[in-house]
Amino acid sequence: DVVMTQSPLSLPVTLGQPASISCRSSQSLVYSDGNTYLSWFQQRPGQSPRRLIYRVSNRDSGVPDTFSGSGSGTDFTLKISRVEAEHVGVYYCVQGTHWPQGFTFGPGTKVDIK
């Protein structure tokens, strides 16, 4: 089964500074149709998860360009260009390529303010 890892697991950031989260999969996430089904989610404290990025680098509607996704194959990155207080929460990567194993989430990266 594919395993998702993230680093770091905890990320204290100064307001206004950039942040970067790494996500790695144990197998390639390139699907038979040529697409790579890696997405990123934000979960603010006490809230449901919200999708930010799908297919590696596509921002969902309403997601500011402060967030960007990149990567290929097995290595992916979520970047926040300038961290704001509202960005505090846990960020998860998830793969949707390998079925019937199903969605596999990374362990999450907790972002907070220094």
Partner 1 sequence: EVHLVESGGGLVKPGGSLRLSCVVSGFTFSNAWMSWVRQAPGKGLEWVGRIKSKIDGGTTDYAAPVKGRFTISRDDSKNTLFLQMNSLETEDTAVYYCTTFGDLSPDYWGQGTLVTVSS
Nearer to partner 1, 14 or 28 (CB): 28
Nearer to partner 1, 39 or 74 (CB): 39
Task: Please return the burial class of 32, using the count of CB atoms within 10 Å of its CB with bins 0-12, 13-18 and 19+.
Answer: exposed
Question: What minimum distance in Å lies between the beta carbon of 102 and partner 1?
Answer: 4
Question: What minimum distance in Å lies between the beta carbon of 38 and partner 1?
Answer: 9
Nearer to partner 1, 87 or 108 (CB): 108
Question: What minimum distance in Å lies between the beta carbon of 85 and partner 1?
Answer: 22
The answer to whether 39 and 50 are in contact (CB under 8 A) is no
Name the site residues for partner 1 (rule: CB under 8 A). 31, 37, 39, 41, 43, 48-51, 54-55, 60, 90, 92, 94, 96-97, 99-100, 102-108
The answer to whether 79 and 67 are in contact (CB under 8 A) is yes
Residues 88, 99: Cα–Cα separation, whole Å: 32
Question: What minimum distance in Å lies between the beta carbon of 19 and partner 1?
Answer: 19
> Sign of the C-alpha dihedral, residues 112, 49, 8, 57?
negative
